[in-house]
Structure formats: structure tokens, C-alpha cells
Amino acid sequence: MLNIHKVKTVYLATGVTDLRKSIDGLSLIVQESFNLNLFSNALFVFCNSNKCKLKILHWEYNGFWLYYRRLSKGKFNWPMANDEVIKIDIKELKWLLNGYEVRCGKRFEEVKERLII
């Protein structure tokens, strides 16, 4: 089961990733290609060329988790901009895993005022 209760950030590696890579290969992509902190409280999500498989890399306490999801029918609505990383939130990851398209444009900002006029 995907353990995301303490995760603050999700990074999508857009485009195609060779999912024959395991923890070490995906870790190199995160550190060298995207220059991100592999040990941060984040999920790093990768997709294959057919858009039917995902791998999620996650560091927790003293080791890595590698989650794998394969659809038996259908495809993920995966952003295809090559060699880019997109930052999304947990809610958007859930949308993606449920088959919805993730729009990575500007979202509504949270309203902090609690006064009704």
C-alpha cells in the first residue's frame, strides 16, 4: 500500500522512463538529471512508453520504497514533455492514479481569510 501520509511533495518525471531500472537507476535520474534531493520527504514518479506502468520511488527512514503499478486495461494520462520534472501535490497524484489528467498550470490559491462579506 502506498504510504503517503507524511509526504509533502510529488515529482513527475515527464516523458518516458525505462522502467527496467530499479531503485539505483531511478535514484541516479533523480539526483543527476533533475538535481533533486533523493532523501527529501517526496515521491518521485516515473512512467513507461506505453503509459500503462508507473514506478514510484520513496525514501523512508532507513531505506527506499519502490512502488509499481501496472494497468491491465487503459493508460495513464501522463504528461509527455521530455526530460522535465513537474511538481504536483498528493491530491493530483491520486487523480493521476485514478486515470484523470493532471493539469500542471496555475491552480487556485488557498483562501486564508475567513470573513464573509
DSSP letter at 101 equals P
Non-local (6+) Cβ contacts of 10 within 8 A are 42, 43, 45, 87, 88, 89, 90, 92, 93
CA distance 26 to 13: 10
Q: Residue 24: enclosing H or E segment and its boundaries?
A: helix 23-28
Closest listed residue to residue 43, CA positions, set 81, 6, 96, 82: 6
- pLDDT per residue rounded down to tens, the chain (117 residues): 566 777 889 999 998 999 999 999 999 999 998 999 999 989 999 999 999 999 999 998 899 999 999 998 999 989 887 778 999 988 889 889 888 887 655 555 666 777 666
With cell 501535490, the residue in question is 89
Q: Nearest CA to 30 among 9, 5, 50, 3?
A: 9
In this prediction the pTM is 0.83
